Structure 1
Amino acid sequence: MQRLMRSKLFVPGSRPELFAKAAASAADALSFDLEDAVAADRKAEARVAVGSFLRGRSTDDRKIVVVRSNSLSSGLFEDDLEVIVGSGLDVLNLPMVESGDEIREAARALARFETVAGIERPIGILANIETPKGLRQAADIATADSRVIGLQIGYADLFEPCGINRSDSQALSYVRLAVRLAAAEARVPAYDGAYAVVAKPERYREECEEARNLGFAGKSCIHPTQVPIANECFMPRPAEIEKARRILAAAEEAAAKGVGAFVVDGQMIDEPFLVSARAIVAIAEQFDPA
C-alpha cells in the first residue's frame, strides 16, 4: 500500500523562511507551491529556493515532499522540472489537469528529467481536479498513468468561476463523491481540498469528517493549526482498528475451514468488507507501527 497523506501542509515557494518550520511540523506531507501562491515576478526565485530545500533533504526524512508546479500550459512547467526533479522530490502536484493526455505528457517530461538527474525511483503525480472539464474527465485522469498516486480537489478554481458557494453542502458532496469514485477506479486515494478560513477550526474539522465519510485519505492544510485536526480525523478510530483486526483474524479461520462468508459481531463478512478491513489496518500500521 502506498504511503498516504492525512495532512498536506501548503508552503509558498517564495517564503523560504517558513520551510524549516513546516518541515518540523506534524504534517504527513509538505506541499511547496510554485503556482498560485507565488507572484509572477517571483517564480524563478521560488523555484530556486524550493530546489535548494529539496537538495538538502535528509535521506532518513520520512515526510512526503510534494511540489505543486505551474501548469503544463503556463510555459513554466519544464523550467520547474529542471530545478525540482531530484532525489528530494516524492510527488509532483500537477494543477489544472483536464485530460489523461496531460498526465501522460507530464509523465514523459518527468521521465526525461529523471534520466538527466539519475533518479531511478519514479516521481509520483498528484492530479488536481479543479475545472468542470477536469471533473468530467476525472476517471481518465486517474487511470492515465501508473505515476498517478491520487486525485486532489481544488475548490476555488472549480467553484468561484461558476458562482458556486464554497459552503454549499450539496456541491461539496457531489464533487467529493465524483472525485472519490474516479480515484477508486484507478485504486488510488482521493484528497480533499483546502479550507481557507484559518479562524474556523471547527468548520475545518467538519470538512475533514465529511470527506472521511466519503472515503478520502486526507486533506490539504493551509496553516499549521489545521495539521493536527486532519491527522486525527483521517486516522481510523481505535474501535475501527480493533474490529478490522478481528475481521482479518476471523477470515483466516474461515479460509482454513473453506468458508467464504462468515459473521463478526452479527454482521456477514465477505470480500468487500475484507478489503476495507485490510485498508484500515494498513493505515493504522503506517502511522502507528507499534
Structure 2
Amino acid sequence: MRSKLFVPGSRPELFDKAMNSAADGVSFDLEDAVAPERKAQARSQLADYLFGLKPTAKKIVVRINEISSRFYADDLQALVGSQMRIVNLPKVESPEQITELVNDLERLEGKQGLSSPLHILANIESPCGLRRAFDIAAAHPRVMGLQLGFADLLEPLGIDRYDAGTVRQLQLALRLAAGEAGVAAYDTAYAQIKDPEGFAGEAAAARRLGFAGKSCIHPSQIELANAAFLPSADDITRALAILEAEETAQASGVGAYQMDGQMIDAPFVRRARVIVEQARHAGLLNPL
C-alpha cells in the first residue's frame, strides 16, 4: 500500500468516496477518529458497509480500538467475516498483545468457517512499542507490517514531530525492526494538510529508507504518496539490468559481478526483484 487513506468510522457518507479514490488501501478508523459515545454507532455502520461491500482489489484495513479498551472485543465480533482484510491494532507494546489478537481472530474465524486468515498491521506509538518493535513484528506470521504513529509517540514527550532529524531517526529505527522481522514498514500520517511539500518530502525520505507506503489523512495526499513510493524509470531500468546480468552470472557460475563499475551480489539482486515487483504492481511493467 503506497497510500492508505484514513476514514472516520463515524462518517459513512465518506465511505464510497474513499473506496473510489486512488488510494491503494482504505483504513476505516474506529479508534481516535470516533468519540467514545459514538463508538457503537460507528461500529454498526461500518459493519453494515463492509458486509455489503463486493470483493475488491483495494486493501481494506480497519483500525480497531486498542486491546485494553472496552470496545476491542465488540469491534472484532462485528467485523470478522466482512470485507476487512487487515486488522490495524493501535498502541501495541508487546508481542503478547499480538498473540491475544491472533487467538481472538482464530476463534471468530473458526466459528464462521473462514479459510482466509486476516492479517495484522501493528501500530508502534510509544517508546515501549518502538523498543520492542521487532518482537511485535515477529510475534506471529499474521503480522504483515509495522506502522509509525507520531502523535502518541511524540506529543506526550514534548518532542517536535516536524524536526527532520527526529523523524528520520524514528523512521530508520522502525524500518530496521520491520526488516529484521521480514515485514513491511509504513510511515506515519502528516497532519499539515496544507503543506503538500512537507508531506512529499517526508514520504520521499521514507521511501529512501525502504518504507512501503505512507498514511494519508486527506484525499489531497493520496497522489503524493502514490508518486513517492513509485519506482522511478531509472530504478526500474537498473533493476531489470541487474536481473538480466544475474541470469548470465548464474549460467556462468559467478556469484558476484560488476555492472557499471559497481560490484553486484545477492543483496542487490534481492532489491532489484522488489523494485520490479513494485513496478509490475503499479502497472509500469507488463505482468509476467
TM-score, length-normalised on structure 1? 0.97
Determine helix, strand or coil for the equivalent of 1:36.
coil
What SS is found at the alignment partner of 1:219? strand
Number of the residue aligned with 2:36: 40
1:63-212 alignment runs, 5 A limit: 63-212=58-207
Amino acid at match of 2:261: G
Alignment correspondent of 1:237: 232
Q: Matched residue of 2:117: which SS?
A: coil
CA-CA distance at 1:117 after TM superposition: 2.5
Q: Partners of 2:82 and 2:42 in 1: how far apart? A: 19
What SS is found at the alignment partner of 1:111?
Answer: helix
- What does 1:46-65 correspond to in 2, within 5 Å? 46-59=42-55, 61-65=56-60
Cα distance in 2 for residues equivalent to 1:22 and 1:274: 36
**Unaligned runs of at least 5 residues, structure 1:** none
Residues 61-116 of structure 1, C-alpha deviations (whole Å, 9 max, x = no match): 10000000000000211100011111401100000000011111111111111112
Task: Give secondary structure in 2 for the equivalent of 1:35.
Answer: coil
Conserved 8 A contact 1:191-1:218: yes
In the alignment, the residues of structure 1 paired with residue 262 and residue 52 of structure 2 have an alpha-carbon distance, to the nearest angstrom, of 51
> Which residue of 245, 264, 286 maps to 1:269?
264
Partner residue of 2:278 out of 255, 259, 283: 283
Q: CA deviation at 1:118?
A: 2.4
Q: Which runs of 5+ in 2 are unaligned?
A: none
Equivalent residue for 1:18, pick from 5, 11, 14: 14
Return the alpha-carbon distance in structure 1 between the equivalents of residues 188 and 49 of structure 2. Answer: 25
- State the Cα RMSD in Å: 0.8
Give the conservation status (yes or no) of the 8 Å contact 1:12–1:33.
yes
* C-alpha contact 1:13 1:50 (8 A) present in aligned 2: yes
Conserved? CA contact 1:27–1:227, under 8 Å: yes
Question: Deviating runs (4+, > 4 A) in structure 1?
Answer: none
What code does the residue aligned with 2:125 have? Answer: E
Is the Cα contact below 8 Å between 1:129 and 1:138 reproduced in 2? Answer: yes
CA contact (8 A) 1:87 1:119 kept: no
Question: 2:201 corresponds to which letter in structure 1?
Answer: E
The one-letter amino acid paired with 1:264 is M
Percent of matched pairs sharing the same residue? 54
Measure, in 2, the Cα distance between the counterparts of 1:219 and 1:272.
25
TM-score by length of 2: 0.97
